[in-house]
């Protein structure tokens, strides 16, 4: 049965059609906000997938270029693999919704969001986030919703709920908040040094808006929601846990996990697992779920140690940061490098500088092709966690971590006028034991400074964790979580920023939400930790950006020319500019406004190219002196090329002070001579004199 629901949301109409399309999905909504239209579907398999010990949830965000009236590029003329924006959007949908599915649910679930039209006033990412939650809530898939998402921008200090694309791009805040009816469940933010108090205010303004959406979804569910289907539980039998506690006591498990050496802990757990395998050799049912059972035994042990005994696995205090170290210039010849180590997490970041012509062009659901001048890429090889597997390129996690570190540093980068370079930072994970994305932020900040990028302020990042008990007041926030505390804890709350404010947030949780006191304490803790990292570690390795780019980095000279003279510099079919490049070995970029960038590593050659361009674009006046080359000899005189594509004539009478019979008596092809401009002759050609320079 077709049913339409509408509500007013931030000054625009949100319209939901159900039962009209995609009837074979477990749940489907055709959602329209303004004129942005997304089809969101939720589909589950009938039975759990055999042999897996996790919930197989897939979230897709499909950008269809017909949505903005574009035909895809390339030979195939069809959409290819998911763009970086698609991956990041899918992650933002996945992170708040995943914890709301039953923990023992193993059926495959796919949440698909297909963008079918885009209104620049209503961002399709937001529409897909809301649509995915609605489709799941009205389906028969077990889900402890509803949940909702709201975005907040800020211009001139004023918050904007669900901003347009232009407001989102130009504002000082890009905040996405997901909530249940009681608590915040996900935060994602990029910010231009927003103070902590202002950020908390924005988060809870979004949380309040989410409540109106949740109320709307509840009405939909009451009218058209399907009964939730039954499923095969994959919970570990309690009698198995009882048997495990007899073989390895809780005290023995504590001893096994209580170490700051990841490899030692893993070896301890391997030996314990072998004991269980021997004990349960005749019980195939228990052996099939032994891995998950050992994981949960560890989890209960670690959580009890932290929450009840205030005892962390590596012996640190609750607010203590692992040992820190930092250094720069460890990689020779690259444009900038730095390494940041925090405990057993180690990142090496390398910065590369290039002319602005090498910015990344991004073709997406946008009216125009956009450009990324700063690119941050993150790599996570298997050796960083002591594993062996082939590299297959960056996955969704790697793309997400790179984007987070990129967001963290964007607010402090210099403008293109101050620093006319494209910038790429690559974070290589050498060792991983928790919060590599925050280590990437610290390493990248130092690497940028080492490369001579005049960033405005130092940026650091840190992550806080959480262990909760049976009530909202029973919890413990942990500063600088390591891998074990992340795996077994309830939260990964990453915050980056300067000493003046926050530049990025990414919060993931495994529970059904955070109370406001937890959010406020986590933000306060991360602020204190950022200051500590900057003061005691990063600033000792490098305190400020270097005054110049390194020896092997390209140098750039910028000049301004009359836009009307651009054609003279380029020449017919690019002949003139290509000749300048060939002669000097530089790279030249010219904007439509006449801004010319000359890039190279040889300063003398760069200055030579600049001089050529200046000569070409100068209005010639009598008395100007040039140096040129004889390129042609005639009976009446010689032609002198004084810049690529620019030449003038010296009449035979102006070659020497004494009278000469033939031009060849004084000049030969290829001679380099100094000439003075006499103005233009009757034919409009530039006339030179050699003798008046002698």
- Residue 518 maps to a domain: yes
> What is the DSSP-derived secondary structure letter of residue 34?
T
pLDDT in tens, 27-69: 999 999 999 999 999 999 999 887 787 899 999 999 999 998 9
* Cis peptide upstream of residue 549 (ω within 30 degrees of 0): no
- Residue 181 maps to a domain: no
Work out the pLDDT band at 368, boundaries 50, 70, 90.
Answer: low
**Model pTM score:** 0.88
Domain end (from 575, 593, 616): 616
Mean pLDDT value across residues 612-626: 80
Return phi, psi of residue 366, to 5°.
-150, 150
Q: Report, in angstroms and rounded to the nearest whole number, the Rg of the chain calculated over CA atoms.
A: 32
Angle at 87 between CA 81 and CA 88, to 5 degrees: 155
Same domain, 455 and 518: yes
Residue 246: give its domain's CATH number.
1.10.10
Cα separation, 656 vs 249, in Å, equals 106
- Residue 319 maps to a domain: no
Same domain, 390 and 534: yes
Question: Can you give the pLDDT at residue 440?
Answer: 97
Same domain, 420 and 476: yes
Same domain, 563 and 525: no
Same domain, 530 and 574: no
Of the listed ranges 431-435, 506-510, 688-692, the one predicted with least confidence: 688-692
Q: Which residues contact 386 (CB under 8 A, 6 or more apart)?
A: 262, 263, 266
Decide: 683 and 651 in contact? Cβ < 8 Å.
no
Decide: 89 and 128 in contact? Cβ < 8 Å.
yes
Name the β-bridge partners of 360: 372
- Residue 184 maps to a domain: no
The tally of domains found in the chain comes to: 5
Question: Can you give the pLDDT at residue 694?
Answer: 63
Mean pLDDT value across residues 357-362: 86
Q: Which two tokens mark 668?
A: 């030969």
Domain range for 598 is 555-616
Question: Can you give the pLDDT at residue 111?
Answer: 98
Q: Which residues contact 57 (CB under 8 A, 6 or more apart)?
A: 94, 97, 98, 101, 109, 110, 111
Work out the pLDDT band at 168, boundaries 50, 70, 90.
Answer: very high
pLDDT in tens, 321-330: 999 999 999 9
Q: Which residues contact 213 (CB under 8 A, 6 or more apart)?
A: 7, 9, 130, 146, 148, 149, 150
Q: Which two tokens mark 242?
A: 């009882």
Of the listed ranges 47-56, 104-113, 361-370, 675-684, the one predicted with least confidence: 361-370
The mean of the pLDDT values for the chain is: 92
Domain end (from 572, 591, 616): 616
- Residue 44 maps to a domain: yes
């Amino acid at each position: 049965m077709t049913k339409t629901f509408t509500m007013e949301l931030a000054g625009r109409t949100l319209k939901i059609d159900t039962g009209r399309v995609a009837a074979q999905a477990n749940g489907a909504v055709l959602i329209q906000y303004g004129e942005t239209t997304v089809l969101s579907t939720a589909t589950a398999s009938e039975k759990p997938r055999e042999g897996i010990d996790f919930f197989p949830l897939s979230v897709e965000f499909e950008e269809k270029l017909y949505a903005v009236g574009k035909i895809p590029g390339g030979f195939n003329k069809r959409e290819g693999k998911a763009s970086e924006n698609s991956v990041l959007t899918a992650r933002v949908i996945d992170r708040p919704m995943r914890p709301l599915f039953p923990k023992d649910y193993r059926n495959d679930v796919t949440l698909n969001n297909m963008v079918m039209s885009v209104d620049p006033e209503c961002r399709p990412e937001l529409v897909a986030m809301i649509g995915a939650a609605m489709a799941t809530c009205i389906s028969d898939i077990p889900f402890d919703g509803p949940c909702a998402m709201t975005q907040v921008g800020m211009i001139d200090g004023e918050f904007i709920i669900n901003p347009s694309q232009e407001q989102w791009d130009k504002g000082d805040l890009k905040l996405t908040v997901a909530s249940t009816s009681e608590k915040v469940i996900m935060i994602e933010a990029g910010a231009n040094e927003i103070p902590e108090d202002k950020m908390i205010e924005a988060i809870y303004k979004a949380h309040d808006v989410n409540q109106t959406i949740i109320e709307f979804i509840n009405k939909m569910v009451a009218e058209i929601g399907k009964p939730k289907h039954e499923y095969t539980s994959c919970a570990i039998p309690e009698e198995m846990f009882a048997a495990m506690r007899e073989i390895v006591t809780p005290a023995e498990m504590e001893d096994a996990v209580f170490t700051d050496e990841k490899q030692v802990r893993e070896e301890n757990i391997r030996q314990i697992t072998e004991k269980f395998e021997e004990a349960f050799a005749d019980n195939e049912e228990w052996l099939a779920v032994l891995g998950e059972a050992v994981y949960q035994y560890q989890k209960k042990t670690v959580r009890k140690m932290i929450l009840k005994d205030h005892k962390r696995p590596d012996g640190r205090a609750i607010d203590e940061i692992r040992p820190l170290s930092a250094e720069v210039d460890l990689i020779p010849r690259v444009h900038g490098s730095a390494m940041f180590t925090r405990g057993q997490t180690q990142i090496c970041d390398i910065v590369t500088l290039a002319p602005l012509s090498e910015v990344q062009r991004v073709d997406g659901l946008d009216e125009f092709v956009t450009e990324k001048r700063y690119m941050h890429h993150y790599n996570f090889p298997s050796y960083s966690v002591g594993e062996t597997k082939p590299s297959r390129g960056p996955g969704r996690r790697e793309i997400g971590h790179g984007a987070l570190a990129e967001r963290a540093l964007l607010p402090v980068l210099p403008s293109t006028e101050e620093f006319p370079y494209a910038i790429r930072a690559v974070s290589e994970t050498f060792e991983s034991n928790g919060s590599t994305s925050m280590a990437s932020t610290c390493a990248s900040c130092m690497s940028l400074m080492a490369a001579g990028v005049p960033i405005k302020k130092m940026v650091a990042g840190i992550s806080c964790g959480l262990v909760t008990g049976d009530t909202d007041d029973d919890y413990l926030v942990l500063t600088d979580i390591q891998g074990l505390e992340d795996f077994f804890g309830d939260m990964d709350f990453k915050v980056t920023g300067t000493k003046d404010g926050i530049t990025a947030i990414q919060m993931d949780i495994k529970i059904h939400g955070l109370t406001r006191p937890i959010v406020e304490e986590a933000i306060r803790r991360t602020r204190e930790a950022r200051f500590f990292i900057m003061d005691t570690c990063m600033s000792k390795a490098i305190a400020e950006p270097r005054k110049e780019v390194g020896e092997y980095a390209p140098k750039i000279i910028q000049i301004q020319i009359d836009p009307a003279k651009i054609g003279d510099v380029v020449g017919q079919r690019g002949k003139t500019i290509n000749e300048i490049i060939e002669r000097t070995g530089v790279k030249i970029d010219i904007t439509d406004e006449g801004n010319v960038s000359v890039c190279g590593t040889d300063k003398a050659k760069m200055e030579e190219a600049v001089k050529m361009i200046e000569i070409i674009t100068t209005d010639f006046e009598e008395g100007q002196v040039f140096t040129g080359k004889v390129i042609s000899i005639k009976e009446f005189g010689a032609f002198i090329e004084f810049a690529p594509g620019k030449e003038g004539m010296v009449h035979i009478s102006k070659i020497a002070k004494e009278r000469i019979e033939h031009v060849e008596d004084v000049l030969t092809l290829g001679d380099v001579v100094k000439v003075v401009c006499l103005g233009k002759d009757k034919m409009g050609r530039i006339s030179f004199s050699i003798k008046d320079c002698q």
